[in-house]
Amino acid sequence: MNKKSIIIGSGLILLLLCLFQAPLRGQTAEEILKKVDAAMSGAAAAKDLESLMTMTITSASGGVKSRKLRVWSRTVPGQDSQRLMKFLSPADVRDIGFLTLADEQMYLYLPEFRRIRRIASNNKTENFVGSDFSYEDLSAAAFSRSYSPGLSAQDEKTWTLDLERKPGADKQYKKIRLIVSKEALLPLRMELHDNAGNLVKVADQENGRSGKYWVPTLIRMKDVKAGSSTELAMSDIKTDQGLGEEVFSQRNLQKRAQ
């Protein structure tokens, strides 16, 4: 093997290595965020999902409250995901329902008044039924529509993205630091910053397998300032049952959950 052949061979190997590594090294923050969106509520997510959710609210002083909900969600190609949540217990919140048809179309059903209330954007920052989640936190809108990402770090298992709210986007948080699992393509941690740039909430997420999909199994939202936290634990997860649009309707919002 002459010198020329060695140089050409080495060059080819280098070229192959570069080509092989390109998808990883060259992945832009935008591409990563789109993959996260796809895994959360897009093409890579379950077409629909039903689960039992246990909401545990822990106050700053250590007081604990527990609520049970049933949750249904559905991905809609090219649109925001739809989601329906119905409270099963305790008695004072039983049958309260929350329906998200789109990021700008949310309804709350109050059985006490037999009334469905539309939630305007400015009211989405309110806490959802005394939890540390706001209505907006519980919506299933894609990040990439409202945020511009920057890749700030990565290691073997995670990417760290810094999301900046796009001008004109009607979103509660100005900045989000998102730590994403490379395996599940789902968030592991979200650090949420208010308009002044202060860290206000931190959400830690655990993901697990349900059939062929990665799904969140536990989300723990901590209010940094108040010191309270709310944990959402999902169980009895069922995917791809063929849930139709009739499930995500005002009719079903008023129905008594079983």
Residues that bind another protein (CB under 8 A): 57, 59, 65, 90-94, 101, 104-105, 113-115, 118-123, 125-127, 129-132, 170, 194-195, 223, 226, 228, 245-246, 248-251, 255-256, 258
Which conformational region is residue 38 in: left (phi greater than 0), alpha (psi within -120 to 50 degrees), or beta?
A: alpha
Q: Residues with Cβ < 8 Å from 175, sequence gap 6 or more?
A: 162, 163, 164, 165, 193, 197
Q: Min. distance of Cβ 188 from another protein in angstroms?
A: 25
Nearer to another protein, 183 or 245 (CB): 245
Distances (CA, A) of 154 to 30, 32, 180, 257: 14, 11, 9, 43
Q: Min. distance of Cβ 17 from another protein in angstroms?
A: 51
* Cα 15 → chain centroid: 38
Q: Min. distance of Cβ 18 from another protein in angstroms?
A: 48
Nearer to another protein, 127 or 146 (CB): 127
| Closest residue by Cα to residue 159 from 141, 137, 177 | 177
Nearer to another protein, 18 or 60 (CB): 60
Q: Min. distance of Cβ 255 from another protein in angstroms?
A: 8
Residue type, 162: D
Nearest-angstrom CA–CA distance, 42 and 21? 26
Q: Min. distance of Cβ 149 from another protein in angstroms?
A: 24
Nearer to another protein, 126 or 240 (CB): 126
Nearer to another protein, 97 or 149 (CB): 97
